[in-house]
Structures are given as C-alpha cells and as structure tokens.
Amino acid sequence: MTFAARTQLGSAVFTPVTHIYSPGSGVETIPVGATKLTVELGQAGAGGGANAAAAPSGGGGGGLARTAVIPLTSANWGQTINWDLAFGGLGAPAGNNNGDPPAISNVSSGTFTTAVNLVASQPTGGASFGTPAGIGGTVSGGAVNTPGNNGQTGNAGGNGGAAISGIYVNSGAGGRGNEGAPGNPGGNAAVAFAYA
C-alpha cells in the first residue's frame, strides 16, 4: 500500500490513491491526508456444473456493492477497516456434479468510526444437468447494490453469470458448465478503497 501527502505552500496536499485487494483477509488503514473514501466490493462467482454427456449449467456471478463517498477528517487517519474476500467457487469435477459456491465476502469497520458494512452473499453453483442454472449472489450495505447475473443453460454446457463492472473493481463471473469435462471455476472477489 502506498499513499502520498506532501506539504506545499504551508498546506497539506493529498494525492488520490486506490488500494485494491484480491482474495484473502486483511486490514485497510486510512492514509494521512485523505478527505474522502469510497469502498467498492465485488463478490466471487460460483463454479460451473459438469455432466458426462448432457447439458450442465453455468454458475451464478457475484454481486457488486459500493458505498457513497464517505467524508474523512484528521481524526480518521490511521483508523482501520477489515476485509474478507472469497476465492471463486470450484468448478464441478468431471462426471455428473454441481459447481460449488464461493464463501461470503464482507467489508466492515474496524476502528473506523463511520459504519461500513458491505456483505456479499453466495451465488449458487451450476447444476450437473440443465436447470436450475446458478443464481447470482445478492449484496447489501452499499449506496449501490447490484445483484450478480444468473448462469445459463446450454446443450453442451452453459456460460456462467457475467461479471459486473464497477468503477474500481469487477465482481467475479460464474464458471462455465462443461459437458465431458470439469466445470470452470468462478472468478475471485475483490475490494477497492479509493481515497481523495
């Protein structure tokens, strides 16, 4: 992580910066000099189904949540926000199997005195045969909460739910369902902390 704050003509000037994280867990520290923060969370996608000879479906895509712009003061510098991000759900093993969902992803205030509570639910994995295709995950806690896209069915396997494009990160796409082969895994979750 990097941030820049410099003194110019006796006043602090902050250089905008965005910190982006991939799956795992950690703690974000608000940098010195920041006056605004936006948090954007993209959930992971679910894995695609597999079938030896029929029509497995694709996994559901992850949803995307974004906070409104949060004002910051010097009292917030050095305060923390916790994040926990899922890996994409595993694609189904070859044979007649369903894809796996990812874990729940979330972002929550640690010592940060403004409440942040973004939660992304689990999209469902693709089915081994036809319907139901994977269902996109839901999200909550943001000023913008966009649910994930559903997976699709198809004769030789359905596509996973498409990723949702955010301002800073994208949600994970669902994995494709495959006939005669393992299902594809879902895309990973990501979070961005954008400071100005």
Give the pLDDT score at 155: 85
In the prediction, which pLDDT does 130 show? 77
Q: What is the mean pLDDT of each run of 10 residues along the chain (196 residues)?
A: 38 89 98 98 98 93 98 98 98 96 98 98 94 95 98 93 98 97 98 98
Structure token pair of residue 157: 């396997």
**Whole-number pLDDT of residue 33:** 98
Contact assessment for residue 106 and residue 120, using Cβ atoms and an 8 Å cutoff = yes
Question: CA 166 to CA 123: how far, in whole Å?
Answer: 18
pLDDT at res. 165? 98
The secondary element (H helix, E strand) that includes residue 29 is: strand 24-29
- pTM of model > 0.85: yes
Return the pLDDT at 54: 86
